Amino acid sequence: MSVKRQSDRDAAWAANPVGMPVLALGLARVRRGSIFQLVLFAAIAAVITTLVAVLIPWLPTPASREAGRIDFAYWFATVIAIGVFSVVAAVLAYSVIHFRAKPDDDSDGPPIHGHTTLEIVWTAIPAVLVTAISIVSAIVLAQNSHAGTDPLVVKVKAVQFAWQFTYPNGKSFGFLELPKDRHVKLEITSDDVIHSFWVPQFSQKQDAVPGQVNSIVITPDRLGTYPVICTELCGLGHALMRSHATVVTPNQFATFMTKGATAGPPGLAVFQQNGCASCHTFTPAGASGKIGPDLDKLKEWAAAAHRGTLTQFIHESIVDPGAYIAPGYSNVMPPNFGSEIPAKQLDQLVQYLAQGAN
Ligand code: CUA
């Protein structure tokens, strides 16, 4: 593209592609045509980036009030970012077109003296914008940590590689069930290594750290079932350390609290509460984990292991998982189920597995 020269000074600026756009913007002598071009470039950049921001589903649809606020903070910052990007892109495009160095011109440009007003403006505007983002974020954080006067407190325990959710009535489940429109305070901890609790539709993440209780507040506002994901690399089964969170009506939740969700043999409840499903396949329990041996084939495993009767083998495998490792698997099962599961429940679990095994 040819370079049009208005004056000797323009010719000198033309050799200085860095200093020129600064002055071109800052000085009042910028021509009308230049302003029109800059505005046009900025508008094009703004339209393109707005389409990218709006048309691509970057975030899941929020399912909690906290997530809604986080989304607001995200869009607030995005709008500002689009504005800043558009201005920068317009000046860049204008400069590339108008101040291109000639191929044979290797000379330095003329020294440029600063422009105080311009520098004050481009320092003050970003300072105001960043301060605005800080204020919005601080308000969102403060509101999101507010649990109200009567939150439902659910204790969340992470273990390799399962989640356990314990309700105020003492019942535990391997999944999360929450009432709509009530503050829920999750008190999150871990039994072994660091995990991290994440439901994308709730927007918040919280680390599960051994010996420490971290809490987050969730106020579900949309019915549905959402994935619970471990979002901290925690070992071999990390990628499969998943559960689900279901948001139900207050009435459904009251029923869930009195009756529980698990109708079926008592061993099934023990199986679910201890997260066996995250690592093992067991068709009677609807489990399809792939970390540990397939429990549908327990009889085959027991026959190959030669370690007593089927129930003796199952019992030993739960309380002392390292005693015998099935061929092709690693010793990654938590060793503390023997002390974690009360003897009666352990017995129910062993019977349940023995009966369901082929
Ligand atoms: Cu638990 Cu990753």
Dmax (CA) for the chain in angstroms is 99
Whole-number Å distance, alpha carbon 163 to ligand 1 midpoint, is: 9
Whole-number Å distance, alpha carbon 98 to ligand 1 midpoint, is: 54
Nearest alpha-carbon partner for 243 in 287, 205, 209: 287
Nearest alpha-carbon partner for 86 in 17, 38, 35: 38
- The Cα–Cα gap between 274 and 269 comes to 9
pLDDT in the model for residue 40: 94
Query: CATH: 3.40.50.10740, 3.40.50.620, 1.10.287.90, 3.30.457.10. Which one for 8-144?
Result: 1.10.287.90
Q: Which two tokens stand for residue 227?
A: 């994935």
pTM attached to this predicted model: 0.69
Q: 236 and 193 in contact (C-beta within 8 Å)?
A: no
Sheet with strand 176-179: strands edge to edge: 176-179, 242-248, 224-230, 195-198, 205-208
For 66-102, the pLDDT digits (tens) are 999 999 999 999 999 999 999 999 999 999 998 888 8
What ranges make up the beta strands (E) of the chain?
Answer: 152-159, 162-166, 172-173, 176-179, 184-190, 195-198, 205-208, 214-218, 224-230, 242-248, 281-282, 287-288
- The Cα–Cα gap between 266 and 140 comes to 44
pLDDT in the model for residue 325: 87
pLDDT in the model for residue 263: 56
Residue range(s) of every CATH 1.10.760.10 domain in the chain: 266-356
Whole-number Å distance, alpha carbon 157 to ligand 1 midpoint, is: 12
Average pLDDT, the chain: 86
Q: Exposed, middle or buried by CB within 10 Å (0-12, 13-18, 19+), for 23?
A: middle
- The Cα–Cα gap between 53 and 79 comes to 9
pLDDT in the model for residue 17: 45
Residue range(s) of every CATH 2.60.40.420 domain in the chain: 152-259
Nearest alpha-carbon partner for 292 in 281, 305, 306: 281
Q: Whose CA is nearest to atom 1 of ligand 1?
A: 195
Whole-number Å distance, alpha carbon 236 to ligand 1 midpoint, is: 9
Quickly name the fold that domain 266-356 has. Cytochrome Bc1 Complex; Chain D, domain 2 (1.10.760)
pLDDT in the model for residue 262: 52
The atom number, within ligand 1, closest to the CA of 233 reads 2
Q: Which two tokens stand for residue 129?
A: 């914008």
pLDDT in tens, the chain (358 residues): 334 444 444 444 444 444 445 544 555 455 778 889 999 999 999 999 999 999 999 999 999 999 999 999 999 999 999 999 999 999 999 999 988 888 888 888 788 888 899 899 999 999 999 999 999 999 999 999 999 889 999 999 999 888 999 999 888 888 899 999 999 999 999 999 999 999 999 999 999 999 999 999 999 999 999 999 999 999 888 988 888 899 999 999 998 888 765 556 777 878 877 778 778 888 877 777 778 888 888 888 888 888 888 888 888 888 888 888 888 888 888 788 887 788 888 888 888 888 877 6
Nearest alpha-carbon partner for 191 in 234, 237, 240: 234
The atom number, within ligand 1, closest to the CA of 160 reads 1
Q: 190 and 216 in contact (C-beta within 8 Å)?
A: no
- Kindly report the CATH class assigned to 152-259: mainly beta
pLDDT in the model for residue 212: 96
Query: Residue 105 region, left (φ>0) first, then alpha (ψ -120 to 50), else beta?
Result: beta
Residue range(s) of every CATH 1.10.287.90 domain in the chain: 8-144
**Which residues line the pocket of ligand 1, CB cutoff 6 A?**
158, 161, 195, 230, 232-234, 238, 241
229, β-bridge pairs: 198, 242
pLDDT in the model for residue 16: 47
